[in-house]
């Protein structure tokens, strides 16, 4: 298991190098990413967590740049083990690890240290993933003079041929030759739709990775009583206007145009990831209230790995949370008193007021004053002749 120490108050260059934490960080990050090579279908969800050990190491040992060193060492191990596993392009796997897991982890650690707001942090991390991996793809395309895209297209066409022939073979009804030709004729349209949806798939994958790294890191820090200064996913809510963007994206699917429907589908996938995160926050809040054990997370993780469609259920829960407010978080001020009015609250403890002879006339434990903004309707009691001044004079 990883061994975590309290967050250092300042950088101390003379502290000994944490060898044990470094080795555990490298081993955990490498093992999580290698699941992508062993089991691609399940491993893509597991590999998202490979940046979490790097974030924790970088936050707790910033002076030694422990997360950066662990990322470089893990990249070397991935290249070595990928070569032993006869991976055709172990160098490309290293670049994917650095762009998808390593650099986003270091960026997340820095943004957590600066206590950046959650949405800008998630979008910054996602953009970094897309920018780095997109740059790698463009470099390979130019280096191979387009041959890499030709090979990718041939692979997709081969997969579609297998799927279409399997659908025809396993059809419950006997298809005539004309029906089979009509079904096979849909292959170009399916290929075009698949290519057009790639931006949304990659963007949603990058955003889901950013949400996973942030939520897991903050959760681990909170479980070890290490304050990160950033809200956890169980207390995070999306701004309400985001739902209108999701509704508008879904409305684009009703327009009879292939390009507009593709655009709407891409937007729905990206915005849906945000509501998956909100639904996961609702689930985590419920689990903490019920004090369910680790077995619940084990069963939930297995179900999600076996059938990723459970993420859609979390997205639906996140959307319903806008109106149901399962966690009772909406409408609360930062102080958590349940008020959403614009104002500042001042708490002041008063001593017992007496007449001077020891007899107490009034006794106040705590006086909680609402100081509203200028121009608000609540300013009435503070105006000349208001009830508050009269009450003060009577006291």
How far apart are alpha carbons 201 and 315 in whole angstroms? 16
Percentages helix, strand, coil for the chain (3-state, rounded to 5) are 70, 5, 30
What whole-number distance in Å separates Cα of residue 192 and Cα of residue 325? 40
**Model pLDDT for residues 31-68, shown as the tens digit of each residue:** 999 988 888 778 888 899 999 999 999 998 888 889 99
Task: Quick: pLDDT tens for 128-166.
Answer: 999 999 999 999 899 888 888 888 888 888 888 888 888
Q: How far apart are the C-alpha atoms of 57 and 238, rounded to whole Å?
A: 29
Strand-pairing partners, residue 371, are 344
| Crossing angle for the helix pair 187-223 and 103-113, to the nearest 10 degrees | 40
pLDDT digit string, tens, across residues 319-334: 999 999 899 887 664 4
Give 84-113 pLDDT, tens digit per residue. Answer: 877 778 888 999 999 999 999 999 999 999
Whole-angstrom CA distances from 258 to 139, 188, 249, 310, 336 are: 30, 14, 14, 28, 47
Query: Quick one: average pLDDT of 164-173?
Result: 79
7 pLDDT higher than 90: no
User: In this predicted model, which residue has the larger pLDDT, 332 or 9?
Assistant: 332
pTM of the model: 0.77
User: CA 72, CA 81: separation in Å to the nearest integer?
Assistant: 14
């Amino acid at each position: 298991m990883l061994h975590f120490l309290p967050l250092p108050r300042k950088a101390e260059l003379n502290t000994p190098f944490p060898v044990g934490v470094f080795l555990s960080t490298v081993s955990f990050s490498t093992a999580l990413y290698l699941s992508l090579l062993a089991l691609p279908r399940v491993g893509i969800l597991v590999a998202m967590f490979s940046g979490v050990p790097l974030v924790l190491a970088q936050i707790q040992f910033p002076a030694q740049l422990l997360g950066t060193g662990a990322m470089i060492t893990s990249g070397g191990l991935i290249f070595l083990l990928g070569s032993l596993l006869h991976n055709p392009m172990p160098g490309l796997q290293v670049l994917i690890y650095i762009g998808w897991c390593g650099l986003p982890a270091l960026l997340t650690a820095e943004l957590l240290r600066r206590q950046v707001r959650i949405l800008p942090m998630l979008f910054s991390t996602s953009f970094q993933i897309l920018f780095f991996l997109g740059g790698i793809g463009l470099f390979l395309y130019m280096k191979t003079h387009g041959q890499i895209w030709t090979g990718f297209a041939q692979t997709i066409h081969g997969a579609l041929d297998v799927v279409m022939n399997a659908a025809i073979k396993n059809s419950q009804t006997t298809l005539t030759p004309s029906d089979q030709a009509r079904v096979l004729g849909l292959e170009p349209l399916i290929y075009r739709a698949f290519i057009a949806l790639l931006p949304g798939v990659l963007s949603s994958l990058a955003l889901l990775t950013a949400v996973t790294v942030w939520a897991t890191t903050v959760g681990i820090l909170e479980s070890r009583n290490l304050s990160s200064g950033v809200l956890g996913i169980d207390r995070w809510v999306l701004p309400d206007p985001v739902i209108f963007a999701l509704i508008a994206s879904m409305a684009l699917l009703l327009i009879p145009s292939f390009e507009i429907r593709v655009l709407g589908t891409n937007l729905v996938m990206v915005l849906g990831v945000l509501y998956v995160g909100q639904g996961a926050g609702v689930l985590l809040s419920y689990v903490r209230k019920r004090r369910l054990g680790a077995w619940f997370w084990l069963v939930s993780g297995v179900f999600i790995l076996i059938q990723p469609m459970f993420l859609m259920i979390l997205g639906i829960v996140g959307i319903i949370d806008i109106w149901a407010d399962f966690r009772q978080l909406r409408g609360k001020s930062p102080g958590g008193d349940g008020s959403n009015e614009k104002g500042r609250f001042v708490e002041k403890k008063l001593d017992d007021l007496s007449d001077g002879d020891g007899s107490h006339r009034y006794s106040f434990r705590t006086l909680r004053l609402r100081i509203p903004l200028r121009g608000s309707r609540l300013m009435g009691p503070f105006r000349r002749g208001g009830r508050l001044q009269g009450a003060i004079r009577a006291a």
